[in-house]
Each structure stands twice: as C-alpha cells, then as structure tokens.
C-alpha cells in the first residue's frame, strides 16, 4: 500500500493540472470501490473548482468550491494519472480507456485525471470541508511527521509505558501519520534501533533522535518520487526510485551497508508484517 511519500508524490503531480481548475465533467464508471461511492458523486463534482489539494496521512483531500472535500485513498493498487496536461508536463494525448478506469475527471484546462484501481481497494468519499478533520477515517490520526506538531516531546510521551515493539508503535497511525512498513524499517535502521525493542524501554534521547531521522527518510523518499515495489506510479506514469536506496527493506541476506559491518540483513515477522534490520547495527 502506498505510504506517505508515494501519496505526497501523487498529490504534487496532480496539483498543476487540478488546483484552481474546474472539473468540467466527472465520470464515475461503477457504483463502488472499497465501499459505495457517495450519492450523485459525479453530479456533485462536475462544475466545481478544485481550490486546493492537500494530504492528510495517506489520504489526498481536494477542497471544492461547493464547500465539500473529495477524499481519495489509493488502496493497494490505485493510481491517479494525468493526460493532456496543457502545461506540457505529461503526455498530450488522452490514452484509450482501460478496464479499471473507475473515476475520470475531465478538467476545464484540457487535462484528464484518471483513477485506475484493478484490485478496487481504493476509496473516495465526499465530506463537508468545514469539520473535515472529524471524518471517521481522519479523526484519530496523529501528527504529520513533516509538520511542526511531530516533536521529540510528542514521541517520548507516546512511547511512555508502551510494551509493544517500537516497530508496531511507529506503525500506529494515532502516534504518527502516514508511516508504513517500508519507511519505519528504514528509519529504525538509521536510528540504530532494533524493531523488536519495546517502545517504552528505549531511552528518551534515542526516541527523540527518531524525529529528525523519520523526517529525513520521508524527504529522501519524496525527492526520489516514492518507492515502486508493485503497482505504484507517479501522476505522470513514471516509477518512483527510492527502492534503489533501501538500506534494509527487502534486502534479507544481503550485507549491511554500514562501513565495516557486512552482517547479513535479517527478516522477521511482526504482527503479520516483515521487518528487515541489521542485528549488529540495531540494538
């Protein structure tokens, strides 16, 4: 599933073609994805101006001139691509429709934004822009890791007394938004912390050090266009490239990249998810 860097990469790719532009016509080609679409979704979207595109955790939020906000979740295989962009950033010709093009936005500037989702684990919803943060999918999400509210004090307080592994704690969206398996593995490696360590047993200074490390890992991934492991594509159809920079994720049995280490990277399963780490460098 796309994590924060992949979703942010898509948001940035969509913004030039959507922000400040009218949705001339929205086409909804099926009644549902992960759950049913809102009533009259195509009608409610058509003719509205996209005031801005935002991201909250792993969700894209499109604020509309109608006073509603379109919530978009890519799911496991969802991707949003742009064609016919008048700014010349993408291909000029609209491609032929594909089987899994479930929602299509024809923009007044000539761009076409297509939501394609073969596995249909993605989702869309319409909610009032005022009070958007109370939506059931957003209400309990913690601070954005790239925002000012994600601080050392916050993470230290969140870890206090927790008997769960630090890997599980960082995957808890109530503690920090948008982190997933890939970037937690990479951040813990950079921090020298084993994924099996109990969150509440880690010294405060080591917990505090994770805040800038997490930010840097995410920023590095965004600059690389995210990580393409299976289905992820950027809005222009290109792959992300951060997977070529992984220190531990997916590298089971390969030597650690730390100078003078070379210990084989180990994989364990925690709560049904693979954790990759160096048993020598991470304690």
**Domain ranges (residues) in the chain:** 4-134, 152-277
- Structure tokens of 48? 């509205």
For the question of residue 3 being annotated catalytic, the response is: yes
For the question of residue 58 being annotated catalytic, the response is: yes
Classify residue 140 by burial, with Cβ atoms within 10 Å: 0-12, 13-18, 19+: exposed
For the question of residue 120 being annotated catalytic, the response is: no
Classify residue 118 by burial, with Cβ atoms within 10 Å: 0-12, 13-18, 19+: middle
From the list 11, 55, 56, 58, the catalytic residue is 58
Query: Taking the model in full, what pTM does it have?
Result: 0.89
- Report residue 35 CA to chain centroid gap: 20
From the list 2, 16, 145, 195, the catalytic residue is 2
CATH of 4-134, one of 1.20.140.10, 3.20.190.10, 3.20.20.220, 1.10.3720.10: 3.20.190.10
pLDDT higher than 70, residue 189: yes
**Secondary-structure class of domain 152-277 per CATH:** mainly alpha
pLDDT higher than 90, residue 227: no
From the list 3, 8, 68, 186, the catalytic residue is 3
pLDDT at position 229, please?
A: 41
Mean pLDDT across the chain, nearest whole number?
A: 90
Highest mean pLDDT (candidates 79-88, 90-99, 185-194, 239-248): 185-194
Question: Hey, how many other C-beta atoms are within 10 angstroms of the C-beta on 261?
Answer: 11
Query: How far, CA to CA in Å, does 194 sit from each of 7, 103, 168, 184, 202?
Result: 27, 42, 12, 11, 10
pLDDT higher than 80, residue 42: yes
Domains 4-134 and 152-277 agree in fold: no
pLDDT higher than 60, residue 90: no
Residues 6+ positions from 132 with CB-CB distance below 8 Å: 61, 69, 138
pLDDT higher than 50, residue 190: yes
From the list 120, 206, 215, 273, the catalytic residue is 273
- Structure tokens of 124? 């869309």
pLDDT higher than 80, residue 230: no
pLDDT at position 159, please?
A: 98
Confidence class of residue 225 from pLDDT cuts 50, 70 and 90?
low
pLDDT higher than 50, residue 232: no
For the question of residue 38 being annotated catalytic, the response is: no
């Amino acid at each position: 599933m796309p994590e924060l860097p992949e979703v942010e990469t898509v948001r940035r790719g969509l913004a030039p073609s959507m922000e400040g532009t009218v949705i001339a016509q929205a086409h909804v080609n099926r009644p549902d994805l992960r759950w049913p679409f809102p009533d009259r979704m195509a009608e409610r979207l058509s003719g509205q101006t996209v005031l801005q595109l935002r991201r909250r955790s792993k969700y894209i939020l499109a604020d509309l001139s109608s006073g509603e906000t379109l919530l978009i979740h890519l799911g496991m295989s969802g991707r949003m691509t742009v064609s016919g962009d008048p700014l010349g950033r993408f291909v000029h010709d609209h491609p032929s429709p594909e089987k899994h093009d479930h929602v299509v936005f024809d923009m007044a500037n000539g761009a076409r934004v297509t939501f394609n989702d073969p596995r249909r684990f993605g989702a869309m919803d319409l909610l009032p822009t005022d009070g958007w943060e109370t939506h059931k999918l957003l209400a309990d999400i913690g601070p954005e890791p790239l925002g000012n509210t994600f601080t050392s004090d916050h993470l230290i307080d969140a870890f206090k007394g927790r008997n769960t592994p630090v890997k599980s704690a960082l995957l808890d969206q109530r503690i920090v938004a948008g982190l997933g398996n890939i970037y937690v593995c990479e951040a813990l490696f950079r921090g020298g912390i084993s994924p099996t360590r109990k969150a509440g047993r880690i010294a405060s200074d080591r917990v505090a050090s994770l805040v800038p490390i997490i930010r840097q890992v995410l920023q590095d991934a965004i600059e690389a266009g995210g990580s393409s492991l299976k289905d992820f594509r950027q809005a222009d159809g290109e792959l992300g490239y951060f997977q070529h920079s992984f220190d531990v994720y997916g590298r089971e049995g390969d030597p650690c990249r730390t100078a003078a280490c070379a210990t084989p990277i180990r994989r364990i399963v925690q709560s049904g998810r693979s954790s990759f780490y160096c048993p020598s460098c991470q304690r």
